[in-house]
Every structure is written in structure tokens, then in C-alpha cells.
Amino acid sequence: MSALFSPFQFRDLAISNRVAVSPMCQYVAIDGKPTSWHLIHLGGLALSGSGMLIMEATAVTPEGRITPGDLGLWDDDTEAALKPVVAAVREHADIALVMQIGHAGRKASSDTPWNGGQMLSEEQGGWQTLAPSALPQKEGEILPQALDAAGLQRLRDAFVDTARRAARLGVDGLELHAAHGYLLHQFLSPIANVRNDEYGGSLENRMRFPLEIFDAVRAVFPAGKPIGVKVSATDWMNDGWDLEQTIAFAQALKERGADWISVSSGGISPLQKITVGPGYQIPFAQAIKQAAGLPVIAVGLITEARQAEEIIASGQADMVALARAMLYDPRWTWHAAAELGASVHAPAPYWRAPPRGKEALFKDTAYGAR
């Protein structure tokens, strides 16, 4: 039996296999609201045969968006706009639907990647950014506003409000975005956080606000539904956030009831020096899994079925999440299952798709494996 296509469980949520679709920002929302693109994009990926679909980073406030085109869930209008997208996935796909929520901090107010991704001024449609400290992401950018006590409380309230709205929408789980140089990662990293109050300085202090956010969200989200956290295991910079600190953070999250850690890296500064290669972040995931005793999701240049199988079978991670590979081949999970002799769920209109000799690919058909 394929390890990659074995089931897994997070609280009450049963996952049919160990393949997840990574959250991938699309940058085409309007005032935080999804468009027909999101319905097509998420609908297609929901039919990939994967066990879990994680929706793109969804901002908890308007100023928490990376770009003006980011998805958001902060008021009745954004909640209402997401409702038909979630309903469509629910109607047609047998997949766990998770929403990643976060705040971009000092990396907000940026242009779309295909337009260069540079920070936007207010004249260009941008806005004042927020951060732990008044330090720019890179030299020459408009300084972010350092969050005071009232600002921190507003953000706690915003994360709670978004979590409640997500629960009303009926998503199966949440993932807090504490990676890639966005706000919660900014609090963790000594490169972005030079505060001299209880939220800066020591590791315990720098972890305080992200842990407060986790506690607040966990308290209002249904107890049977899981919450994971995405982390950057290292800043890839001297004197920055590193694996040892990430393990301490993961251990603290486990004590608070976190259900998984999704292990990425980098993003705090354009000066980072990353060594990239196939599966280059897998050792981070394995180290966190072993030291913290939490399920981990491995990400980063996982592109081949047997590569993913080995990651799961060897115990390096509990799930793998694919992004670019899934965009390039939205049926990646079908093809991986066929290669590994496994089966996946598919809707009835697709039951005739498998080629000769692969009729057992789909679990749902009269002639398929069950």
C-alpha cells in the first residue's frame, strides 16, 4: 500500500491521502472579495484527487493584504462573497477544505508579482503598513508603523473575527500564516523585531504575539476542527530566525493544541541566501517533527510521485503540499496514484477518464477500488 495514499486524521477531520494543495495567492480579488477566477481556480484544484486543499492566504484586515488583489475575510461582504466558492467545492469535491489566514505586516501594500511586486505608495493605491518595529522590508521603502498596544489588540480581534467567519462558512480547518516574512513571522524574527517591550528581545517575548493569536483563534474555532501553523524554519541569514528557535515555537504550539506545522523557509529579507534544490526544506520538516512531536507538512520543490512517497514512507513528514507542480499539472495527484498503484476520489463525470489498465484509479466508480 502506498504511504502517500494512506489516510490521515486531524482531530475530527479525516484526510483521504497525504497530498495537499498549497495555498497559492492569485492576486485577482476585488476589495478582498473572490471573483469568478477563484471559483474556476479552486474548483479545478478541488478535483485534483488530493486529500486537502488549502485556500490562498486570506487577509484578516484590508491593510493586511499583500497586494490590493488579495483575498480577505474581514466583514459581511467578504464573507458573503466567499460563500458560493466554498459551497461549490463542497458540492462537487470530496476534499478537506482549509483556509490559511494571516496579515502581511510590512510586506503589505505591494504591487502584483507580474507588475514587479514593489511597494505601492498611497498615490498608487497603497496604504500605511504595520509591523512589530518601524523597519522596512528593504532599503528605500516607506517605513511601516510600529504596532502599539491598541494596534495589537485590534489585530487579535481581527484574527478572532476572521476565524468566526471561516467557521460560519464551514471550512474544515485553518492555517495561521507565520512564515515568508509576513506579520507573525516578523514578530518571531530578530531581523524584523527590535522591540524593547514584552513582545521583543528574548525568544519568549518574540513568540508571545504569534502564540496569543493562536490561542485567540483556537478559542473561537470549533473544537473538532484542526488549526495548523505555517512557519519559516530559517531566515537564511546570520543572526536571524533559525531551526532551533522554530523547534521551540513548534513545541509551544503543541502545548496549545496546534494540529500541524507546515514547514517552509525564508521571506524576511531580500538579503537572504537560500540554497535551493529538490526537497531542500525536508530536513527542516523532519527535525521539527522529531523534536516537537507534531505532524508536519513538507513543502518546497516536491514534484515527483516517488519523491513524495519516500518523504512519507520514511517518516520525514506526515503530508506533502504542492504549489507550482499542482498548477503545472492540476491532475498531479491522479497521476501519482496511477504510478504508485493507488486510488483517489473523483466525481462521476470523470469516471471514464482513466486509460486502459488504470480503471481502478478512482475509488468512486462501480469498477474502481473501494
Q: Which cell is 233 given?
A: 524554519
What DSSP string runs through 220-286? HS-TTS-EEEEEES--SSTTS--HHHHHHHHHHHHHTT--EEEEE---S-TT------TTTTHHHHH
Rg of the chain (C-alpha set): 20
3-state secondary structure of 11: coil
Q: How would residue 359 be classed by pLDDT, with cut points 50, 70 and 90?
A: confident
Q: Which cell is 84 given?
A: 458560493
3-state secondary structure of 85: helix
Q: Which domains does the chain have, with CATH numbers?
A: 15-329 (3.20.20.70), 331-370 (no CATH)
Q: Is 182 a catalytic residue?
A: yes
| Active-site hit among 182, 199, 350, 367 | 182
- Flag whether pLDDT at 355 surpasses 80: yes
Range name among 27-31, 118-122, 254-258, 360-364 with the lowest pLDDT average? 360-364
Query: For position 357, what pLDDT does the model report?
Result: 87
Query: For position 365, what pLDDT does the model report?
Result: 65
- The strand pairing partners of 260, in sequence order, are 228
Q: How would residue 369 be classed by pLDDT, with cut points 50, 70 and 90?
A: very low
Residues 176-234 pLDDT 10s: 999 999 999 999 999 999 999 999 999 999 999 999 999 999 999 999 999 999 999 99
C-alpha span between 34 and 38 (Å, rounded): 6
Angle between helices 36-46 and 76-92 (to 10 degrees): 30
How many C-beta atoms lie closer than 10 Å to residue 45's C-beta? 23
Residue with cell 495514499: 5
Contact between 57 and 25 (Cβ < 8 Å):
yes
Contact between 345 and 362 (Cβ < 8 Å):
yes
Residues 247-296 pLDDT 10s: 999 999 999 999 999 999 999 999 999 988 888 999 999 999 999 999 99
